[in-house]
Amino acid sequence: MTGTGDHEDAATYGATAQAAIRRPGRWWGRKGTAAKVESYTRISFHLFPVAQLVTALLSLTPVPARSALPVAGALLVHVALGLRLTGQALDWVAGRRARPRRLLYAYMACGFAGAAIAALVLVKLPDDPPATYYTACVGTYVLFLAFSCGLGVLALRTHRQSLVAVAVATFGGWLLGSALLPAPAAAALALSTLLSAGGLTLASRFSIWLLQAVYELDEARHTRARLAVAEERLRFGRDLHDVLGRNLSVIALKSELAVQLARRERPEAVEQMAEVQRIAQESQREVREVVRGYREADLYTELLGARGVLSAAGITCTVTGTPTGLPRPVQAALAWVVREAVTNVLRHGNAAHCRITLTVVPAGPRAEGRPAVAELTVENDGVPSASDGSSGSTGGHGLAGLRERLAAEQGTLEAGPAGKSAFRLVARVPVPADEVAESGVPGETAERARQELE
């Protein structure tokens, strides 16, 4: 489906891209840990061909232009293929595309062809050339072989294939040295090829292993978060079953009794149906309370759930204070604040730490007629910029709804930046001195949450 929605999405994407270009720091700050590691790895590997180009061109400076031109041409082609192979190989490692086999074979073939051209230039040098000629050609030869292995292994599946590539490169170095150089120099050339190709190969394989480990850890983190959500849904299902299970059984029993009485034309059938109607209305009210989150509006459960969900998402959560003695309406209002604040922490920014503090500020001896105030503070880091509202906006629908709920209890809500890369949400609800928490035994879930929280 196309239309206004697509134009809005395109406009939003364009604005985001322009903002990222203007503010690269914010673009980097919005990335998650896995995305940052991947970006760092991509940048590092794309610098490999650039380093090869600069090093080889500098080493070819002493060689005559007629001899160095073919080598430089092969070098440029090899570098261009290396840059393209790096991007596609890392996409393959991330599971976003198929393995770039043809590009890998072309890159390896170009590397060995460039090495052969460098060797041919070395053979065709005039008699008794300067030592710098030998050094330049041999160095370029080794660079072709080493970087062919170092970047080529990004698209290889197994460590054995990587070892074979290093062995082939080392053999190539020994082959050139044994044909043109004395035995000690040939051994040194083979050793330098082995160290160069082996070092680059080891660095590439280790980087790929580290990137895959980060991917797996990130997937495990998301899995834990999904499991936490599933557990919360199961809890909601249990609460719904507790509400409807008994009432539906009573409704079925009384309606069956009413049918039997009606068949006998007994007046008690009307009383039984009236009772069925009353129980159905009560069940409807209780279900509505469960859906709206007002059933046993106990702040203990919400605080414990917030700590569990944030911990599952890899965010360190610290909860300070307990809602002991707070009235039910105050607890219900603050429970909604906790729920919305945790949602914002998970959805916006890249938080690593979150602190939830609940305190009751007394009225004081001079504040006659003023009630105590229950103050809930939720503060998190990982906000890229205080001006872009990444962790929530004072005009957002979620925070606007919280203000309406708190206003019903004469409460207030403040939300905004708290220093560099931090966001703070503060909710205050007055607690009248003559109002105490509603009597009654707390539910099993709330009581267990209170014990775990304490």
Greater pLDDT, 435 or 225: 225
Report residue 126's pLDDT band, with 50, 70 and 90 as the boundaries.
low
Whether 420 has a pLDDT exceeding 80, the answer reads no
Q: What is the rounded average pLDDT of the residues 255-263?
A: 87
Question: What pLDDT score was predicted for residue 14?
Answer: 42
Percent residues over pLDDT 90 in the chain: 10
Q: Flag whether pLDDT at 376 surpasses 90.
A: yes
What pLDDT, on the 0 to 100 scale, is given for residue 284? Answer: 84
pLDDT tier at 440, thresholds 50, 70, 90: very low
Q: So what's the pLDDT on residue 375?
A: 93
Q: Is the pLDDT of residue 150 over 90?
A: no
pLDDT of residue 363: 65
pLDDT: which is higher, 261 or 440: 261
pLDDT of residue 128: 57
Look up the pTM and report it.
0.54
Q: If you average pLDDT over every residue of the chain, what do you get?
A: 77
pLDDT at 431 over 80: yes
- Average pLDDT of span 106-117: 86
Q: What is the pLDDT of residue 77?
A: 92
Is the pLDDT at 438 greater than 70, yes or no? Answer: no
- CB-based contacts of 312, cutoff 8 Å, min separation 6: 221, 224, 225, 227, 228
Using the CB atoms, write b or e for 183-203: b if 16+ within 10 Å: eeebeebbebbbebbbebbee
**Per-residue pLDDT at 365:** 55
Q: Write the pLDDT tens digit of every residue in 60-107.
A: 887 777 778 888 898 899 999 999 999 999 899 888 889 898 999 999
Mean pLDDT score, 369-379: 85
Say whether pLDDT at 387 is over 60. no
